[in-house]
């Protein structure tokens, strides 16, 4: 299982070859906030004129069909704080989530 962030998720559902390859035939996990992050990124692409609304809908359909285990984020703040010197809180949350993904959530 691999823990993915929104950039990989959005890349995969938009057809970015490297992102598709990264998630292909793998079990995926993400902190439970992933859906909001994906929606935010896609909305920003539409608002910025980089993506048409109808294509955003197609991407959301693809996202909905991916099997992604949503990992709870509660109880990770201490580990996130330990990583503060090297990672943003968002990135630290991904790192802190990895042990949960390895043990099935």
CATH superfamily, domain 2-102, is: 5'-nuclease (3.40.50.1010)
Please report the pLDDT score of residue 97 as a whole number.
Answer: 87
Neighbours of 102 (CB within 10 A): 11
Mean pLDDT of 51-75: 94
Q: Where are the domains of the chain?
A: 2-102
Long-range contacts of 88-97 (CB under 8 A, 24+ apart): 90/5, 91/5, 93/31, 93/33, 94/3, 94/5, 94/30, 94/31, 97/3, 97/29, 97/30, 97/31, 97/71, 97/73
pTM: 0.81
Q: Is the pLDDT of residue 103 over 70?
A: no
Per-residue pLDDT tens over the stretch 5-60: 999 999 999 999 999 999 999 999 998 899 999 999 999 999 999 999 999 999 99
Mean pLDDT of 49-78: 94
Which DSSP state fits 27?
-
Residues 6+ away with beta carbon under 8 Å from 102: 1
């Amino acid at each position: 299982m691999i823990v993915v962030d929104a950039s990989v998720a959005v890349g995969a559902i938009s057809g970015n070859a490297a992102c598709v390859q990264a998630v292909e035939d793998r079990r995926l996990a993400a902190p439970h906030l992933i859906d909001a992050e994906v929606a935010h990124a896609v909305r920003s692409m539409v608002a910025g004129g980089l993506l048409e609304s109808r294509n955003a809908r197609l991407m959301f359909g693809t996202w909905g069909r991916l099997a992604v285990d949503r990992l709870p984020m509660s109880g990770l703040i201490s580990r996130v704080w330990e990583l503060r010197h090297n990672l943003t809180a968002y990135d630290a949350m991904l790192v802190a989530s990895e042990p949960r993904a390895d043990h099935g959530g």
